[in-house]
Amino acid sequence: MTTGPHILVIEARFYDEIADDLLKGTLAALTAAGATSEVVTVPGILELPLAAQFAFSKGAVHPDRGYDGFVVLGCAVKGETDHYEHVCEQSMSGVQRVALDLLVPVGNGILTCPTWELAQNRANPAEGDAGGRAAKACLRLIELKQNFGL
């Protein structure tokens, strides 16, 4: 019996309403594809890369429950200072670095939005479905990795 991929979902809960929608879309897409998942939570998007690094470091994952890929979820909404730009850049580049350094498929569901309304629309599974799209991206990269024999 073949089982679907097992995905680690790492969610940043800084904005609970946005996080709830992102997670809902992600889990729906993974379930529809026959994938299983585990969810871990971090405070904000800056913590996403290190949580992924912990999960995929050598020996960190139990051999019978290894992850085939990961999805990161979170949101930054632009404020009045330049903190937003730094947080967005560092979280995005950190997630990408983990994926590239460790050759782990990732679906990036980090929203970086100039307004709260845009973040809500992009996170909502019935509208932008950023979480569902991130899950589908991860699943596609898993498929590609397998096609290349990795």
- Give 41's contacts (C-beta < 8 A, 6+ positions apart): 10, 11, 12, 13
Asked if 31 contacts 133 with a C-beta cutoff of 8 angstroms, the reply is no
Beta bridge partners of 73: 11, 109
Q: Dihedral (C-alpha) 51, 141, 136, 112: value to the nearest 10 degrees?
A: 50
Q: Is 6 a catalytic residue?
A: no
Asked if 56 contacts 102 with a C-beta cutoff of 8 angstroms, the reply is yes
Q: Helix (H, G, I), strand (E, B), or coil: what is residue 78?
A: coil
Positions marked active-site: 83
